[in-house]
Chain A
């Protein structure tokens, strides 16, 4: 299995630009999670989906952030407009019903907003 795939691995953009992060979960997994990791705040859950439906988006920092999961094999996290404080590593993770807490993480996308 290829594991969780994220793209791009690195993204550098200017303040005000739109950023789209992509994730392909492990085939057959029905939970998908988006996390953000910073030195100051550690690892924060932004949103998670079950069977492509958003279950809890209380971690999404503000309206500039949105996430979608149009099908079981693809999810996006979009930031529009981006700000320097959005600079972080964004992780996608997936898991199975019955083992929701055993999450498999992707390698992350390092976002830098200048």
Chain B
């Protein structure tokens, strides 16, 4: 079975500062990894995904994440955040070789950007 741990429940940061949201996963098989974002009172939206290939993946709104297999991590980063990035961010994992599995989400990290 797979699991996801988001190490920080809340991350406050000032506008234009860099940010890193941490995600670790556990799995005995190869995985796909995802970050989703949820803006207030909205559903989740896919931010970026890692399926295979380059370990550095770029997503929408200037976010990127790096897959580190040895550390079983998939941390999300942005070099300069905006007020509009304030949202909840979810890391998710899935095991493609296990038929019938779906996404397993972490508990989420609330990113609060202030001026």
Give A residues with C-beta under 8 Å from B: 4, 33, 42-43, 45, 48, 55-56, 91, 93, 100-103, 105-108
Extra A-B contacts (5), CB below 8 Å, given A4-B43, A101-B102 = A42-B106, A43-B108, A56-B102, A101-B92, A105-B45
Min CB distance A22 to B, Å, is: 15
Enumerate B37-59 residues with CB–CB distance to A below 8 Å. 41-46, 49
Give B residues with C-beta under 8 Å from A: 32, 34, 41-46, 49, 90, 92, 94, 100, 102-108
Report chain B residues within 8 Å CB of A105.
43-45
Could you write out 5 A-B pairs with CB less than 8 Å apart? A4-B43, A42-B106, A43-B105, A91-B43, A102-B46
Contact assessment for B108 and A107 in the assembled complex, using a CB-CB cutoff below 8 Å:
no
Contact assessment for A103 and B46 in the assembled complex, using a CB-CB cutoff below 8 Å:
yes
Min CB distance A61 to B, Å, is: 17
A100 to B41, CA, bound (A): 24
Report chain A residues within 8 Å CB of B106.
42
Contact assessment for B90 and A43 in the assembled complex, using a CB-CB cutoff below 8 Å:
yes
| Top 5 closest pairs, chain A to chain B, by CB | A105-B43, A42-B107, A43-B105, A105-B44, A107-B43
A42 to B89, CA, bound (A): 12
Min CB distance B74 to A, Å, is: 14
* Residue from the set A45, A56, A103 with the largest chain B CB neighbour count within 10 Å: A103
Contact assessment for A101 and B94 in the assembled complex, using a CB-CB cutoff below 8 Å:
yes
A4 to B108, CA, bound (A): 22
Report chain A residues within 8 Å CB of B49.
101-102
Given that A43-B90, A101-B32, A101-B34 are known contacts, is A93 also in contact with B105, CB under 8 Å in the complex? Answer: no
Report chain B residues within 8 Å CB of A55.
100
Q: Which residue of A lies closest to B33 (CB)?
A: A101
Min CB distance B44 to A, Å, is: 4
Report chain B residues within 8 Å CB of A33.
102
Contact assessment for A45 and B108 in the assembled complex, using a CB-CB cutoff below 8 Å:
no
Q: Which residue of B lies closest to A105 (CB)?
A: B43
A103 to B43, CA, bound (A): 11
Report chain A residues within 8 Å CB of B92.
101
A105 to B68, CA, bound (A): 28
